[in-house]
């Protein structure tokens, strides 16, 4: 029997990456039956498991992670398999052409793996300025090559696997390769998003893949095959991240970015080959729940703004009358509680706009990001909350900080997908992954979509007075993110309590905070907390999920001076919590995710 070069390379990679154990578990993937999913709101029961659990945004992705865990794989192994399948079946949200943040707990310590995209070396602060010096409209910047950042997901996962993988690297690509070659059924959600998408057809490659000959999206249940992606995944399985960031695939990415007919980008082969993932110190803070319980909440540090904003909101809220308020008799957050919560959010988002950016380019206030989470500082900020809404908050000065930066104006953020996993040894992952907007930059290359992550930078580099924004474009810089993968622990025992997170742009912060408060303060299980209606404020209007709150809540908030906007707030929360006898997982009824375990 002849062995091809690719097969030989895959075999060698499997041996080298498997570690030094004498007995290596193996994965024999089998394609599951794919049920017809629904779009919109679908009630979910929550899932009880005994030994391990995996929660992801698509049933096929969840099943891939489940099969990896069943085969003896680690939480990191399962996350890799889940991500590769999501690249195929949920291409609108994440993939190998994007970036991710991964929180990992090995049973003793917490680590933060940064796979955030970076700006090309040729990018500068004028990247999103028109010839007259004014910022482009958001969608003008998004569609094309201009917005594409150097993808980091695969290299980050490679680093995490090197340190925490149990199964061979190559085997973790087997589920996605099999599904890409044999095909998967188009889900209701993917069909719905394709039907509503006005820009993806402008890319001939994407149009030929996602739409039929008459320009209609493939119908629900259509079996969609992606042999080009299968080949790229085979190459990465054999050669690691170099197969994506060097060689023919890298050249194809660069050609796609630089040759866009109306909106080219500045990426080079050197940008791709030079990408480095980072291990960062996680942001962990104590969170007391009266009368006696103290939790340790760990989240992702900058360039994510998520852990800081969530920590500020929860900490400020604890210093108000809202800390003791229960859910209303209807099982929903009350207007009084929403008042205190959204005021705390305004204060947190004001600080976020001024201070948070890539820490390799911007120093933290008072020399530490923890200055923004100092109990004294949060207590001072809480004193600014009164009976009437402040409408728009001003940033604070932690540790007496003075800065020359200007607060960045609010800008659209979209997209992403979240994965939570706990394996049979108690190791845990919380990973949020993204290509930013729905279908990213609307540029498809070799079977996968490219991100538009650079639009997470401020389009305008400075304010009207010439003061720079901390989150402006700079060469090699990571754009600020709202992704909030979160791990929660019992401070007394050190035991894992929960893994969770969500997609949703800047609203990720609120979706995750809602789940934390619901489980830790209101005693809800993960599914019940996820099911609660969404709400928030980005330091502007008070946002309520449409058709989920009674009219009386709206009126009571307006009586307190709130400008209330009801809107679609489609979270995609996933959470796994420890319960007696094992774990309990929840998945968002607003999307198609599920939880599986044993």
- Per-position DSSP letters for 411-435, written without gaps between them: ------EEEEEE-TTS-EEEEEEE-
- Per-position DSSP letters for 387-416, written without gaps between them: SS--SSPPP--GGG---S-BPPPP------
Q: Residue 216 gets which letter from DSSP?
A: P
Distance of CA 417 to the CA centre of its chain: 5
Strands 444-445 and 110-115: unpaired
Q: Is 463 exposed, middle or buried (0-12, 13-18, 19+ CB in 10 A)?
A: middle
Tokens of 129: 């300025």
State the Cα–Cα distance between residues 92 and 480, nearest whole angstrom: 20
Strands 582-587 and 535-536: unpaired
Distance of CA 527 to the CA centre of its chain: 19
Phi, psi of 586 (to 5 degrees): -130, 145
- For residue 217, give the nearest of 194, 240, 238 by alpha carbon: 194
Cβ neighbours for 441, distance < 8 A, ≥ 6 positions apart: 142, 143, 144, 145, 147, 148, 435, 449, 450, 451, 452
553 is catalytic: no
Beta bridge partners of 270: none
Structural contact between residues 58 and 187, judged by C-beta atoms closer than 8 angstroms: yes
State the Cα–Cα distance between residues 350 and 343, nearest whole angstrom: 11
Q: Which of these is catalytic: 342, 416, 434, 512? A: 416
- For residue 243, give the nearest of 170, 166, 147 by alpha carbon: 170
Residues designated catalytic: 416
């Amino acid at each position: 029997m002849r062995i091809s070069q690719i097969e030989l390379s895959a075999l060698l990679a499997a041996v080298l990456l498997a570690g030094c154990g004498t007995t290596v578990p193996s994965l024999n993937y089998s394609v599951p039956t794919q049920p017809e999913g629904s779009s919109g709101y679908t009630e979910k029961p929550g899932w009880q498991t005994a030994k391990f659990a995996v929660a992801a945004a698509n049933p096929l992705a969840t099943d891939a992670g489940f099969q990896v865990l069943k085969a003896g794989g680690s939480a990191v192994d399962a996350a890799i398999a889940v991500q590769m399948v999501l690249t195929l079946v949920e291409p609108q949200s994440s993939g190998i052409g994007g970036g991710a943040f991964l929180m990992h707990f090995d049973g003793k310590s917490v680590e933060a793996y940064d796979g955030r995209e970076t700006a090309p070396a040729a990018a500068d602060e004028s990247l999103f300025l028109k010839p007259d010096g004014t910022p482009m409209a958001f969608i003008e910047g998004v569609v094309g090559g201009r917005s594409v950042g150097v993808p980091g997901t695969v290299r980050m996962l490679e680093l995490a696997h090197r340190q925490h993988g149990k199964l061979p690297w190559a085997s973790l690509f087997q589920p996605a390769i099999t599904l890409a070659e044999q095909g998967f059924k188009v889900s209701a959600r993917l069909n719905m998003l394709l039907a509503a998408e006005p820009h993806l057809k402008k890319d001939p490659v994407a149009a030929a893949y996602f739409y039929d000959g008459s320009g209609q999206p493939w119908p629900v249940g259509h079996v969609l095959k992606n042999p080009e992606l299968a080949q790229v995944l085979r190459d990465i399985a054999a050669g690691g991240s170099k197969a994506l960031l060097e060689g023919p695939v890298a050249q194809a990415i660069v050609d796609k970015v630089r040759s866009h007919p109306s909106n080219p980008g500045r990426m080079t082969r050197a940008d791709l080959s030079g990408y480095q993932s980072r291990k960062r110190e996680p942001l962990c803070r104590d969170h007391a729940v009266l009368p006696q319980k103290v939790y340790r909440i760990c989240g992702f540090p900058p360039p994510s703004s998520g852990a800081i904003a969530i920590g500020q909101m929860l900490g400020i809220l604890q210093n108000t009358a809202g800390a003791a308020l229960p859910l209303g008799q209807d099982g929903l957050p009350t207007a009084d509680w929403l008042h205190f919560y959204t005021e705390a959010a305004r204060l947190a988002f004001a600080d976020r706009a001024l201070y948070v950016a890539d820490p390799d380019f911007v120093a933290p206030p008072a020399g530490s990001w923890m200055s923004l989470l100092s109990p004294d500082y949060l207590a001072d900020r809480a004193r600014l909350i009164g009976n009437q809404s402040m409408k728009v908050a001003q940033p604070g000065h932690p540790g007496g900080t003075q800065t020359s930066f200007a607060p960045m104006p609010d800008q659209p953020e979209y997209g992403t997908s979240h994965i939570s996993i706990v394996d049979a040894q108690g190791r845990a992952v919380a990973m949020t992954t993204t290509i930013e907007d729905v279908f990213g930059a609307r540029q498809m290359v070799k079977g996968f979509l490219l991100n538009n992550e650079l639009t997470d930078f401020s389009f305008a580099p400075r304010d009207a007075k010439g003061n720079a924004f901390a989150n402006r474009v700079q060469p090699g810089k990571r754009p600020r993110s709202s992704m909030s993968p979160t791990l929660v622990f019992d401070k007394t025992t050190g035991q894992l309590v929960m893994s969770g997170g969500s997609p949703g742009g800047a609203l990720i912060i609120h979706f995750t905070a809602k789940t934390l408060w619901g489980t830790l303060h209101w005693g809800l299980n993960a599914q019940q907390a996820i099911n609660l209606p969404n709400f928030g404020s980005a330091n502007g209007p008070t946002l309520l999920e449409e058709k989920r709150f009674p009219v009386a809540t709206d009126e009571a908030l307006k009586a307190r001076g709130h400008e209330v906007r009801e809107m679609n707030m489609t979270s995609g929360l996933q959470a796994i919590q420890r319960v007696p006898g094992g774990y309990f997982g929840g998945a968002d009824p607003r999307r198609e995710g599920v939880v599986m375990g044993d």
